[in-house]
């Protein structure tokens, strides 16, 4: 998890439909743009923005028909009839489209999620341009307009160079000794700047009605701890060291000094990596995030970093308990404060500070940041145009404010009503499947149904919009605006610690193309931007919508019963509600699903990790089965004609595969296989259907066909 001054939100991030990709190429330190919490230092030059007293002026209507990026939808012309559905279902549905739609030069993947993101960005661009042009704007119109205007002023950003963060670098240069370094880290967090570890609020695992503080591992620049040790990542490590040296040179070091310091920084991060959990470990054992301790016990564990002083520096009373997650990591950081030379700490902190803010500094910094994180690490051919990068930044800093504008033009009441109906139908189908499970005892089944009854669906946008009063921005400096927003967001998050959980709050903005399940609230959330083709289409037949958004709804519901979600009860507490025999039966079935996905891959050196992706594979399998059941109920007593030669059951599965038509850059695919809890799209298109007899029936597949699993090879869980 990135070192950010915001809440972990780890569970939501690991149970979304698709991996949320940080527009900063996932570089730690600072702006966790995917969840809207950021670094900060305050330069306040304007009067407070009062959103209650000064509502945003009405935005112009955006004509969705004029968007340049065409939506993806199930089309008979895309089907490759030379490939048998029972042999290669992904190829049958998607191969023609994939061959005709390579990854654009400013992206690392191309498919429905990214296409809808592009369409969302086009709408947002029109909205923010209008807001920025308003004379005398107030409230969120002013906030959004200021960030847009200063972000788009490339000449001013280039003229400023590194000056906006020079005061921070001067502080780092003056650090001497463990106490001074620890004090700097704490003071930086008070401004919203996260170094070395992650810190923020999240519900208490044992009492999910109250937020507590969590401190967790962070501080690494590479995507996963294994990048520091595995021989297959040796070339990436070499490129990363060269990148560190280049960043330090841009920050003012001469070549020889930068080269020596880069080696020290890499050794520093490697030492952190040795005591860090891997992506797989964190994805498959959520308990690693929960280690409740008293502040006194935490101080004893990390004698060179006093948590009592840290809480005081944040303006917080020392809590009776907080979660010091991954305690061995924090213990090692404390040791490093004592035995790592101050000069090495300075080099590490200087690199982290500059690299984390490079995307928002002058072109030389932004380009170097992209060269490594975008081009080298993920295979992106060219940097996104400035307008997209600035919009991504706005989404990170004040995404919900922009989301309010977005839903006014891009999400109809009719769409929300239809979604509510679909959620109800899927919920009914899930209840029936739980009731009819043969392998589960009545005792466990009763608790599963209690959890089912307490699901909270959220559709489109929040019922209560966040108040941005007090955030101050100007037309003077892009970085200063981001720092002000970061501090504001940090304080907003700190205020949650020790307080009741706000169940109206969303962890994704309405314009985000994704969905998620939050086990600590037992809620399923569907932002407005995903409610478009191929997922959802008001004009489409039921088969298409149930195979698209219906399966998405089922997917998120099943996350409540996947290998990690099933460890939380109906109230969102971390509590076992299974009999011992039922848990053993569940684990036997999930183990066979792990084995299935371990067989998928791109040759022997690029295999899918069935354990890393288990939760998402459980959700796909169960969600698709539930959606199919709901479709059958919707089609009851109806005569439904074929469309383009395909019946409703075929179109159901075909649209499921359409959702997963994705091209990857090779480098991006390698990173995802190592770190992403979602399997590559091709295997999601085929994995769940191959376990469902309904798929074989729909396409006339026979035992022995690659898309048909039978006997012990077939997995049925929920």
Per-residue pLDDT tens digits for 347-397:
999 999 999 999 999 999 999 999 999 999 999 999 999 999 999 999 999
Could you give the dihedral angle defined by the CA atoms of residues 308, 313, 316 and 319, in that order, rounded to the nearest 10 degrees?
-10
Domain CATH for 237? 1.10.1380.10
Residue 380 is part of which domain span?
10-56+124-397
Give ∠ CA 141-143-147 in degrees, rounded to 5: 115
Q: In whole angstroms, give the CA distance from residue 327 to residue 292.
A: 10
Question: Does residue 328 form part of some domain?
Answer: yes
| Domain contains 32 | yes
pLDDT confidence band for 65 (50 / 70 / 90): confident
CB 618 within 8 A of CB 563: yes
How does pLDDT run across 669-702, given as a tens digit for each residue? 999 999 999 999 999 999 999 999 999 999 999 9
Radius of gyration of the chain from its Cα atoms, rounded to whole angstroms: 25
pLDDT in tens, 470-488: 999 999 999 999 999 999 9
Q: Please indicate, yes or no, if residue 49 is contained in any of the structural domains.
A: yes
Query: pLDDT value at position 396?
Result: 95
pLDDT band at 62 (very low <50, low <70, confident <90, very high): confident
Give the chain's mean pLDDT.
Answer: 92
Other CB atoms within 10 Å distance of the CB of residue 316: 16
Alpha carbons 597 and 610: distance in angstroms, whole number: 5
106 domain residue, yes or no:
no
Q: What is the pLDDT of residues 141-150, one digit of tens each?
A: 999 999 999 9
Asked if the structure places residue 233 within a domain, the reply is yes
Return d(Cα 69, Cα 25) in angstroms, integer: 23
Strand pairing class (197-204; 207-217): antiparallel
Q: What is the pLDDT of residues 639-651, one digit of tens each?
A: 899 999 999 999 9
pLDDT tens for 562-577 read 999 999 999 999 999 9
- Pair 692, 624: CB distance under 8 Å: yes
Residue 679 domain-assigned (yes or no): no
Q: What is the pLDDT of residues 279-315, one digit of tens each?
A: 999 999 999 999 999 999 999 999 999 999 999 999 9
Q: Which residues, at least 6 apart from 506, have a Cβ–Cβ distance to it below 8 Å? A: 400, 458, 461, 462, 525, 527
Task: State how many domains the chain has.
Answer: 1
Collapsing DSSP states into helix, strand and coil, what is residue 525?
strand
Q: What angle do CA 64, 69, 71 make, to 5 degrees?
A: 75
Q: What percent of the chain has pLDDT over 70?
A: 92
Q: What is the largest CA-CA distance in the chain?
A: 78
pLDDT at 9: 44
> 591: exposed, middle or buried (C-beta count within 10 Å: 0-12, 13-18, 19+)?
middle
> Is residue 598 a part of any domain in this protein?
no
Question: What percentage of the chain exceeds 90 in pLDDT?
Answer: 90
**Residue 390 belongs to some domain of the structure:** yes
Question: No. of H helices and E strands in the chain?
Answer: 28, 9
Cα–Cα distance, 660 to 701 (Å, whole number): 21
């Amino acid at each position: 998890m990135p070192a950010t001054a915001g809440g972990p939100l780890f569970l939501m991030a690991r149970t979304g439909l698709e991996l949320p990709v940080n527009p900063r190429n996932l570089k730690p330190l600072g702006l966790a743009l995917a969840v809207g919490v950021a670094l900060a230092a305050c330069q306040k030059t304007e009067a407070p923005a009062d959103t209650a007293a000064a509502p945003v002026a009405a935005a112009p209507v955006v004509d969705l028909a004029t968007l340049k990026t065409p939506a993806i939808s199930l089309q008979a012309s895309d089907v490759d009839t030379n490939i048998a559905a029972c042999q290669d279902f992904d190829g049958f549905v998607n191969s023609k489209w994939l061959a005709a739609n390579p990854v654009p030069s400013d992206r690392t993947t191309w498919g429905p999620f990214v296409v809808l993101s592009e369409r969302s960005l086009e709408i947002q661009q029109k909205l923010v341009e209008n807001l920025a042009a308003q004379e005398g704007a107030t409230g969120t119109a002013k906030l959004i307009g200021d960030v847009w205007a200063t972000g788009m002023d490339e000449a001013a950003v280039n003229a400023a160079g590194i000056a906006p963060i020079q005061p921070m670098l001067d502080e780092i240069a003056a650090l001497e000794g463990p106490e001074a370094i620890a004090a700097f880290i704490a003071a930086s967090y008070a401004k919203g700047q996260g170094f070395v570890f992650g810190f923020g609020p999240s519900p208490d695992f044992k009492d999910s009605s109250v937020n507590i503080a969590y401190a967790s591992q962070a501080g690494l620049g590479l995507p996963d701890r294994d990048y520091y040790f595995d021989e297959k990542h040796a070339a990436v490590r070499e490129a990363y060291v060269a990148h560190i040296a280049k960043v330090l040179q841009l920050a003012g070091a001469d070549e020889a000094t930068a080269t020596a310091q880069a080696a020290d920084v890499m050794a520093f991060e490697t030492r952190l990596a040795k005591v860090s959990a891997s992506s797989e470990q964190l994805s498959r054992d959520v308990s690693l995030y929960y280690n409740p301790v008293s502040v006194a016990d935490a101080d004893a564990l990390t004698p060179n970093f006093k948590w009592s002083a840290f809480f005081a520096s944040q303006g917080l009373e020392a809590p009776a308990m907080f979660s010091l997650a991954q305690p061995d990591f924090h213990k090692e950081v404390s040791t490093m404060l004592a035995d790592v030379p101050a000069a090495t700490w300075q080099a590490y902190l200087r690199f982290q500070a500059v690299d984390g803010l490079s995307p928002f500094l002058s072109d030389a910094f932004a380009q170097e940041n992209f060269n490594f994180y975008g081009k080298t690490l993920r295979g992106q051919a060219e940097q996104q145009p400035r307008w997209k990068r600035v919009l991504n930044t706005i989404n990170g800093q004040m995404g919900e404010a922009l989301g309010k504008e977005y839903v006014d033009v891009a999400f109809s009441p009719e769409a929300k009503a239809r979604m509510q109906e679909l959620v109800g139908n899927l919920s009914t189908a899930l209840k029936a499947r739980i009731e009819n499970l043969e392998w589960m005892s009545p005792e466990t089944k009763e608790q599963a149904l209690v959890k089912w009854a307490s699901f909270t669906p959220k559709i489109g946008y929040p019922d209560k919009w966040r108040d941005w009063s007090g955030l101050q921005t100007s037309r003077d400096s892009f970085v200063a605006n981001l720092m002000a927003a970061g501090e504001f967001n940090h304080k907003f998050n700190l205020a949650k610690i020790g307080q009741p959980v706000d169940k109206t709050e969303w962890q994704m903005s309405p314009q985000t193309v994704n969905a998620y399940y939050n086990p600590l609230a037992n809620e399923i959330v569907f932002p407005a931007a995903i409610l478009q083709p191929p997922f959802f289409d008001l004009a489409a037949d039921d088969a298409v919508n149930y195979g698209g958004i219906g399966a998405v709804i089922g997917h998120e519901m099943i996350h409540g019963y996947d290998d990690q979600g099933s460890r939380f009860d109906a109230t969102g507490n971390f509590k076992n509600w299974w009999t011992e025999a039922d848990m053993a039966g569940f684990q036997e079935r999930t183990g066979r699903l792990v084995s299935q996905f371990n067989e998928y891959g791109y040759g022997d050196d690029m295999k899918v990790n069935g354990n890393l992706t288990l939760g998402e594979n459980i959700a796909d399998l169960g969600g698709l089965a539930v959606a199919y059941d709901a479709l059958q109920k919707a089609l009851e007593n109806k005569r439904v004609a074929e469309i383009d030669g395909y019946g409703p059951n075929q179109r159901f599965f075909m649209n499921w595969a359409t959702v997963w038509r994705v091209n990857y850059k090779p480098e991006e695919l390698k990173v995802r296989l190592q770190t992403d809890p979602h399997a590559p799209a091709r295997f999601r298109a085929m994995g769940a259907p191959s376990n469902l007899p309904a798929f074989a029936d729909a396409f006339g597949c026979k035992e022995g066909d690659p898309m048909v699993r039978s006997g012990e090879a077939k997995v049925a869980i929920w």
